[in-house]
Structure 1
Amino acid sequence: MNLIEERVAMARAGTNPFVISRMASGWLVIGDVQPLPGYCLLLADPVFSSLNALTLQERTTFLSDMALAGDALLDVTNCTRVNYEIWGNSEPALHAHIMPRYESEAEEKRRLPACMGYSWSDSPKSLGDDTLALMGKLRAFFGD
C-alpha cells in the first residue's frame, strides 16, 4: 500500500488528522509540511492510478473539486493565486497538489513552482497552531 492509499484508508476510518473535508471525488487534506501556508492535497477516493484512469465524469468531478479547494484557499488566506499540480511519480496514485501563492514571496521564488523554490524538508510541520487555525477556516468554508 502506498502513502496515498494509506492516507485515504485513514480518512475513511476517521483517523487522518490532516483531513479538511470529504469532497465528491475524494479527501481534501492539509499537506504534512507547509512550504507555503495552506498547502493542500486532494486525494482521490476511490484510489486510482492516474487522472486518465477515470471516466470523463469522474475526471470532471476531481478537477472541479481541485478548483473548489483553490477557491477556499483564496477565500480564507491572503493568497493571490493558486497553483495546481498532478504528478503521481513517487506515489503512483491520483492526488493533486494545491499550493497557494502569496504576493509576499520573494520574486525569485514566486516565479517558480513551489517544489523548486522551497525546501520541503525544512518546511514547518502541519499540525502547529497556525495550520490548525487555517484548517478550521477551511473546514468552515466547506461547512464541516
Structure 2
Amino acid sequence: MVEDWRADRIGSAIRGTNPTVIAELEAAFAVIGDAQFLPGYSLALTKTPGIDRLTDLPRPDRLAFLADVDLVAAAVTTVCGDRDPAFRRTNVEILGNTHAFLHAHIWPRYDWEPAHLVGMPVWLRDPAQWRDPETQLGPRHDAVRAELAAEIARLRATLD
C-alpha cells in the first residue's frame, strides 16, 4: 500500500516521504504549499508529533519553532521579492482551525491580486483556488522551490 503523505504530514516529513519538504530546521520542517495560487506560499510544520497548539510546546521549544517560522518567512520575502516586482509583503498565520497539528502559513502577497482581496486574509478567496489544477504544486514550481531551499540554507549559514 502506498502511503498518503497528506494523511500524516509531520510523520511523513520525519520519515522523509513528504514531497513538499524544502528543509529540516531546528524545530520545524519548511515545506512548500500544495496550492501555489500565491507563488512561494510555504509553511513551517512542527517536528513534534501530537502538538496541536503553539502553547502546547514548552517555552524553549515554542521559541525555537517561532524562530524557524521567522527564517522561512525571511526566505519567502527574499525569494518572492526577487522573482516578482509586484511582491508587496509576507503574511504569517498560525491558525489551527482545520488541521490538528501545529503549523504556520507563510503567504507572499502581491499587487497583482484582485483589488478586493489584496488587503484581505487569503482564506476569503474562492475555495476552488485551493484545488485548481493550474496552481497545484508540480514540476512548474521546481524553480521557486529550489530558490526557497537555497535561501533557507543561506540564512541558516548566517546563523552559525
TM norm structure 1: 0.88
Partner of residue 16, structure 1: 18
Is the CA contact (8 Å cut-off) linking 1:74 and 1:80 kept in structure 2?
A: no
- 1:80, CA displacement in angstroms? 2.3
Amino acid in structure 1 at the alignment position of 2:110: Y
For 1:143, which of 129, 134, 153 is the aligned residue? 153
- Tell me the distance in 1 between the aligned counterparts of 2:153 and 2:106: 20
Is the CA contact (8 Å cut-off) linking 1:35 and 1:114 kept in structure 2?
A: no
Partner of residue 87, structure 1: 95
Is the CA contact (8 Å cut-off) linking 1:4 and 1:93 kept in structure 2?
A: no
Aligned residue pair count: 141
Q: In structure 1, the residue corresponding to 2:22 is in which secondary structure?
A: strand
The answer to whether 1:102 aligns with 2:104 is: no
- Tell me the distance in 1 between the aligned counterparts of 2:16 and 2:131: 27
Partner of residue 78, structure 2: 75
Structure 2: give runs of 5+ residues left out of the alignment.
82-86, 155-160
Partner of residue 30, structure 1: 32
Is the CA contact (8 Å cut-off) linking 1:4 and 1:43 kept in structure 2?
A: no
The answer to whether 1:57 aligns with 2:65 is: no
Identity of aligned residues (%): 35
Is the CA contact (8 Å cut-off) linking 2:42 and 2:76 kept in structure 1?
A: no
Partner of residue 46, structure 1: 48
Q: In structure 2, the residue corresponding to 1:110 is in which secondary structure?
A: coil
TM norm structure 2: 0.80
- Tell me the distance in 2 between the aligned counterparts of 1:76 and 1:98: 13
Larger radius of gyration: 2
1:108-123, aligned counterparts within 5 Å? Answer: 108-118=116-126, 119-122=129-132
Q: In structure 2, the residue corresponding to 1:43 is in which secondary structure?
A: strand
Runs of 4+ in 1 over 3 A off after TM superposition: none
Amino acid in structure 2 at the alignment position of 1:96: A
What's the Cα RMSD here?
1.9
Q: In structure 1, the residue corresponding to 2:116 is in which secondary structure?
A: helix
- Tell me the distance in 1 between the aligned counterparts of 2:131 and 2:14: 28
